[in-house]
Amino acid sequence: MTSLVVSGRLRWSARWRYETRRGCYKRRVRVLVVTSLYPTAEHPDRGRFVADQVESLRRIAGVDVAVFRFEPGGAGFVTAARALRRAHGRDHFDVVHAHHGLGGWTARALGRKAPLVVTFHGTDLEHPIVGRMSQALARAAALPATVSANLARRRLPGAGRARRVAVLPTGLDLDRFRPIPRPEARAALDLEPDGRYLLFPSDPARPEKRYDRASALARAVDAQLLAYEHVDPDRVPLYVNAASAVVVTSEREGFGLAALEALACNVPVLATNVGIAPLALAGVDGTLSAPFDIAIWSDLAQKLLNAPDPRVSGRTRASLWGRDRMASRVFQAYVDLTK
């Protein structure tokens, strides 16, 4: 089997590249996705990135995807395991792909009928209890994967050396996240046309995102801080485009999709040097990836707020992590497991 390493570079035979480019892979791959990270009518923002990956996979010729989703929280993954056996215990799949460590433990209820891929998203490896469970699961899965190489190196000891770990981000929806004229975005949100707005791209209630840092920055530069508290996900691109800058003040990130969403809209972004930010923002003028320092961050934020309509050239960089491109990588991983 071809080695998948923490760098995320997948090596394939010339024949395989030829066949997939021409859309003539010789058989279909049937995949079951198991996760509690998935949108519902009550929580449309939950796991939108996983749903994006599923939609992209379904557009690839040669793959069929079914989804088993369950409610997060407590011991729900145990109850979900019983429901999973009832729903799919007799079905055939070539690959079972779980998102989040607890989703992986639920997926194990199907036994060894198909190779198990588990994508770890960050909180599952960082949590004091679930983290230990997730690390144990990574040793048992046919293919453990993380959403960034940094996460694998920090939380899966031996990744890329003694342990085979793939890097499989869910990717960015470039159709949703696109440049929108700032006056149009502000009008849609009933914001002042000439207001001073920064965006904190998360729920303030999540402690690891460090809303306190973003609030201190906004006070220092006399700006109003917008946030995603109870925001419909379809309106999120309006918030990104309405802001003079997006401020990602996180203590840690498994991946850090918010920085890419800002880049895709050509909106300046200031981010701590965690997750994908150091790589994604490197060399992009008008952005910053650095430890949080209110003096340094305030200087750039003030310049951006004082500009009539600050924009950066970020969309081309963001497209490197487009959801369709990332889904193709995931599909190739499936094929490698089923050869």
Cβ pair 45, 233 in contact under 8 A: yes
pLDDT value of position 240: 98
In the block, tokens 């679930």 appear at 130
For residue 10, what is the DSSP state? B
The mean pLDDT value for 70-86 works out to: 92
| Alpha helices per DSSP H over 210-274 | 211-220, 236-242, 257-264
Summarised one tens digit per residue, pLDDT across range 193-231 is 999 999 999 999 999 999 999 999 999 999 999 999 889
Q: Is pLDDT of 1 > 70?
A: no
> Are 90 and 149 found together in one domain?
yes
pLDDT at residue 134 is higher than 80: yes
Asked, for residue 128, whether it belongs to a domain, the answer is: yes
Predicted confidence (pLDDT) at residue 333 exceeds the cutoff of 50: yes
Q: Assess if residue 9 is contained within a domain.
A: no
3-state secondary structure 105-124: HHHHHHCCCCCEEEEECCHH
Do the Cβ atoms of 275 and 335 come closer than 8 Å?
Answer: no
pLDDT at 189: 98
Would you state the structure tokens that stand for residue 332, as one six-digit string?
A: 């190739």
* Judgement on whether residues 166 and 202 belong to the same structural domain of the protein: no
> Are 291 and 196 in a shared domain?
yes
Which residues, 6+ apart, have CB-to-CB distance to 265 below 8 Å? 177, 178, 179, 180, 237, 240, 241, 314, 315
In sequence order, the 6+-apart residues with CB closer than 8 A to the CB of 220 are 294, 298, 301
Query: What are the E-state strand segments in 126-211?
Result: 143-146, 166-167, 197-200
Residues 65 and 159 placed together within one structural domain of the fold: yes
Structure tokens at 50: 């996983």
What is the enclosing helix (H) or strand (E) of 69?
strand 63-69
Residues 291 and 329 placed together within one structural domain of the fold: no
pLDDT tens across 235-268, in order? Answer: 999 999 999 999 999 999 999 999 999 999 999 9
**Do the domain assignments include residue 140?**
yes
Say whether both 140 and 276 belong to one domain.
no
Average pLDDT, the chain: 90
CATH code assigned at 120: 3.40.50.2000
* pLDDT tens per residue, range 41-61: 999 999 999 999 999 999 998
Count the alpha carbons within 13 Å of 90 in the hemisphere toward its beta carbon: 2
User: Which pLDDT score, from 0 to 100, does residue 15 have?
Assistant: 36
Instruction: Say what percent of the chain tops pLDDT 70.
Output: 91
Looking at residue 9, what is its pLDDT? Answer: 34
Whether 119 and 81 share a structural domain: yes
3-state helix, strand, coil in the chain (%, to 5): 40, 15, 40
The conformation of residue 277, written as its DSSP 8-state character, comes to H
| pLDDT value at residue 154 | 87
**Is the domain of 305 the same as that of 225?**
yes
Residue 75 exposed, middle or buried by CB count within 10 Å (0-12, 13-18, 19+): exposed
The whole-angstrom separation of Cα 115 and Cα 96 is 6
Q: Which domain holds residue 202?
A: 182-320
Contact 38, 68 (CB under 8 A): no
Task: Determine the average pLDDT of the residues in 74-92.
Answer: 93
Say yes or no: 74 and 221 in one domain.
Answer: no
Task: Return the amino acid letter for 322.
Answer: G
Q: How many distinct structural domains can be found in the chain?
A: 2
Coil, helix or strand for 256? coil
Per-residue pLDDT, 61: 86
Rounded to an integer, what distance in angstroms lies between the CA atom of residue 180 and that of residue 188? Answer: 11
DSSP symbol at 321:
G
Residue 197 lies in a domain: yes
- The whole-number average pLDDT for the span 121-140 is 92
Considering the domain architecture, whether residues 204 and 288 belong to the same structural domain is answered as yes
Do residue 48 and residue 157 come from a single domain?
A: yes
Judge whether 108 lies within some domain.
Answer: yes
Is the separation of the CB atoms in 140 and 119 below 8 Å? no
Q: According to the model, what pLDDT value does residue 157 have?
A: 78
